[in-house]
Structure 1
């Protein structure tokens, strides 16, 4: 806007005829270039010219010229722009229009946006006038700031804790504050401007409790002070208060007196002096050596204990630290290879642990350092020789204790009252499922248990969680003994015993073999009891089995004696023969058991053609199966290799297995016999029935001698309980294996596995 030099210039036709404005080109250009807003009105109260600043002030642009508009329009525009300040714009415009423009007017207004304006109106020849609006915001703010500073200065002077009194060149009081009267102990309002310095002193002497002699001495002293130079003193008043008086010359020849009550400061200084004296006494009595270096690295203070501890390497106040280090290096105070420069640098490497060194006389000193607020530093030296010797002895005892723990046959771990490890051997860590470094001294028990839980030492699943929550998560162990089975199957017995200091010792013992021995003894005891019971059952059973055929023999023999030529001789003789054969078979079984108990000799095996042996066994058991109402079926046989076996023993094994299957198969049931070649070589003979079956837990007991799984005397199935035992014993003597598969109520399958023969033999009958 300011750069448009022709902005707002009206054409000549806009000036009213008969009322020309006597403005030349140069004045007009000056008005347009003024930074203040300029409005030129003609005799008809219309705007003849407005400069660029006027357009800027009103927020107008020259492309909408204001020239030619009436005074009322311009006045209302200024009012609505807020240039007249707060209030009704219409009322403000009406007040401005009511002014007599034929007279000069000047006033100051604050716009609604906070700016300040100086409004000036000056009449022009021809009935027109010039209005000049100047922005005086910066000047006004500076004036307000100056006034605020004056108020703050006055408040600061009034509330300043020091008493201030300003005297002119003639030593008359010009200015003072309330603290000046208070410290002089004169009543408020006593002092006034124009009083001489002597008059002020007289008023002070009246109101202060001083003797005439004290007044005269103080007067002479004050009169002797050269007020043209700075002066300061501290005077102790009779009431014990300490007042500091500072006299400062002023440029006009006067002086400023500042009074300060420094009683507390003086007392603090006295206390500091007393503390310093006390500190000197403490340093002298300390058993530790203390020396202080200033910021210039020179020794400022050293106590007697330092000189005594480092006898032969004493210090002198004022020595430079580097000179001390070099002197001590020359004396051999430092270890080989340590130079004075190295020691000098170490002095400023402050560490809370301190630094130790061994002196030539064998003593060990420890030095701690710290920086001081003034840039210097302090060094404290202690003789730690007894401490290090005690630590060495303790470490030796600890090594002996650890060696003793490591040589023990049990795991041992010592805990303190805070449940932290004090000492432990490697065996304890191994039995706890941890590494030796996991049981390092200082490790909390809770950490050990967490490691065990994480590594699966407590097992897995809910059982492990419950164990960790109940026992393992309990911080305070009970005085008890318990056993725990580790994941590898070993059984660890853990014993906890208290110690006098509130801690406890835990002992770990591997009782796996002991538990196994106990279990073996218990198992042997159970087997012995079962064997004894089996023998008792065998005797009871055999008495029944033997008595039955003997009764038949005796009874029918008596019948033959009674009727030597009777009609039933043949029948009686057949019955006696059958009973005799049955007795013979029982005796043969008992003999076979006796042989097996003393070690059955190895059978003379040879290659056999298995189908013929199977057919013969089925043929021999046909009558027994038919009598029992059981179907005995032979499955079709595939091509089979010859097997190595003793023919007589193999037939007896098959007969025993078939007899057992027929015996325990109800009437109407089926017993099947078959065989197949095995992929890995050999042949498996399978005898299956759909009889009463055997419980899974009783399968192995069925092969024990004299064991009958039905133990009541009123048994449904006769027999001595030796059939399966003899069958397995005979099978093993031929190098064969015999196993059973069964379930209660689902029948039984006997599997006899024979070795295949390498050479071919003739078929056997």
Structure 2
């Protein structure tokens, strides 16, 4: 008995020190004592104490702590309160977190009782494990990857698993209980197809082994497999043979040896310092880079970590106010960001640590002095950059690769409808655009929604330049240029006045160029077209003058007549163009049979098509109504279109003319060829007067450039429309749409 302790205090002291939870209740049903383990079970602290509280309160705490297991805590409290505490009570409960407790209640002489809560989790789990092992032993033996064969004192086989036959390369069912070890060997030699001499040698070796002692060997088979054989004596005088295919293990060992050598080479070549501590906190490995980076505070293999910390503290390695104990504790507070410190020589080192599977840990040290110096220089440059940005006459904002603001001047914020604080560094571009959208910077209604969804939500393209009109009517030009780090610079410029002046200049220039181009086209085209027939007239007239009675007079006169008619047609076309330009091109429309007009136009063009080697045909026509048109104008339109089609179709090609009824009651005449075609962007230019899409001096196709222009003008004078569809190299389709003269359709003749 210890000094100073009364005899009655000893049992109470024992109860308080018990590892099991103890609750003592007096005769009035109030808690008289609870030991430290009781507070731990309830997940509470002794302050404030539970002594003096009613039994209902304590049992409710126990129920809500989960000691009675899953269920309604109030129902569990009612059940516990109804128990007869004058009787010895005992039951086992499984808590909500999976632990097991024995709950015991023992009555006391004064009418109270003592309750014990004993954690029997380990015991219950041990029982469950024991039962599980018994159930799994047979299963594990059967499916164990190692071959197991048990022999009795007479070397007869009494037990084996499937793997034993498989590793011996025997078909299933070869082995039988009661076979001798020698018979088993014979079967193995047979199924492994051993050479007789090798089989006899191995037989003698196996029979000579003393099975009363442990024996182990590894045999390399001819196929390269390595089989480990372990023989262990049994208490009954027999022996147990365990076979295992260790081919992969041998290969893994070789690979591990190779990797270990490779790791040593990597650690030696690393520019970072690496040191490894074992579970005993003693240094087990350090590379040369560590010793070089921490020169003056080198490590020695075998040193304890605390010894190292104290030695470095004495050397002043950690700086004022940092003790060895503080550094020691920090070694095990592993952080993904690591720690940095400045050494006495001014270098800055960064340390990262990690726990190892064996309980030790690794520390990696890097010299980050250049990085920190670069960061300081970058901060200085950033300050200079901001000063420069604030003095610029353009709005400028620099973004990083993640579309976040790096720097911006106040002018940029004002120009895009934001406050300077809205463009603070780190603000995502998406947030800026959302604020612009909400404040009406993109306008209102569907146009604002379209601008926001088409540009603001998408990522910023590189080398981008676009303009937009702000709500106040000013024009803002936004330019985006990439930076080497993957970010970009956005420049905002107010180009309102510049655009106004540029638009006026551009309009005036376009008018002047168009007038000049029209004059040049007219002169170039007419000079070429007029010169050809005039040369013929002059040349053949001189020939007639020189030889008035010659044999070629009729031929020369015909040529002069043909050239004169060509000149007359050119002059007529020019007059028609002049009328079209003044709006005096009139047409007298009347109902016409379209089929006869089409066939007449084809007859007039057939000789020219045959001369050019082009097949000209009329498609089978459906039942068509009469059309409203001027017959002479319509024929001229068709001839111009057919002439163009034949002219631009190479020899061997084909031109087809046909007609179809349109859904609105009108009629469409189409002329299709498989000639050279027209670029899509040049289709409308083909209808301009004096335009030759082939503009070189050595043009392959003659013409004044008035055919399509006149065709459209004449079509419009009759209330018709003319359009072209073409693909370069595949041909062209001309579509002439005419109004019907009557609703009822009738067959054309």
TM (norm. structure 1) is 0.42
TM (norm. structure 2) is 0.43
Rg comparison, structure with higher value: 1
